[in-house]
Amino acid sequence: MKPYQQIPINECGEPLWPIPPEQFFLELPPPYAKLGADYGGKSPFYLRQGVLSALHLAQVHLQQLHPYWRFKIFDAYRPVAVQQFMVDYTFASLLQTHQLDRANLTPAQAQALWEQVFQLWAPPSRDRQTPPPHSTGSAIDLTLCDANGNSLDLGSAIDEFQGAAPDYYANNPDLKSQTYHHRRQVLNQSLQSAGFRRHPGEWWHFSLGDQLWAWQRNQETGSTQFNARYGGI
């Protein structure tokens, strides 16, 4: 269990709303659907009503800093079945990368691989008290793009192990690395201005109102006053 999964959930009952493609660029076709994930007829481009309102405010802040930049949405709402698919897909990819046979893994090898998988992916829990963040409709993976929808380079791809840490380029003095770091800071500043909090280990993942968000707010304030208001949906 991750530390944030101990945060109580006081479900507020807000519905999922579609992310309007005329206001935000969407990564199409949906990246995990391209890999074979079955959304069961649902779309990944949905957020809770209050989270979507905050995303609009964050983009207003972004365009005050860079008038021609916008958000590009990679993934938002994610059914638990899709979370399970991506956990299994990532494990299989690591097996292939390391040229390992699953049937012949030692316990130590299996543990090391699963630890790497869960650096990026929350456990696909169906327990209503421990939902994956994306399955609450209050977490979003996104990046920056120009006015034509062309993604800006932030130093690594979304879901890439190498370079995922938000401050990965902070202490590298070369111009390209500092450009990546600046863009990551702009992304974070814009979203945080609207109440979001960034995943500690992923520059692209932000949430508002889920267990991870509440845990981070409690860490910031040294309190236990924040609970989650969005559970699994």
Top CATH class, 3-221? alpha beta
Which CB contacts under 8 angstroms, 24+ apart, belong to 198-201? 198/166, 200/166, 201/119, 201/120, 201/164, 201/165, 201/166
| Mean pLDDT for the stretch of residues 37-61 | 97
Looking at the chain, the whole-number percentage of residues with pLDDT higher than 90 is 96
Structure confidence by residue, pLDDT tens digits, 62-88: 999 999 999 999 999 999 999 999 999
Token code pair at residue 152: 């800006």
Query: Beta-carbon neighbour count of residue 177 at 10 Å?
Result: 15
Catalytic member of 11, 115, 160, 202: 202
The pLDDT tens digits for 91-144 are 999 999 999 999 999 999 999 999 999 988 999 999 999 999 999 999 999 999
Q: Whose CA is closest to 100, among 88, 90, 87, 110? A: 110
- Give residue 1's pLDDT: 78
Token duo for residue 89: 């897909």
Cα R_g (the chain), whole angstroms: 18
Catalytic status, residue 202? yes
Q: What CA–CA distance (Å, rounded) separates 23 from 15?
A: 20
CB-hemisphere CA count at 13 Å for 2? 22
Classify residue 193 as left (phi > 0), alpha (psi -120 to 50) or beta.
alpha
Residue 35 reports pLDDT greater than 90: yes
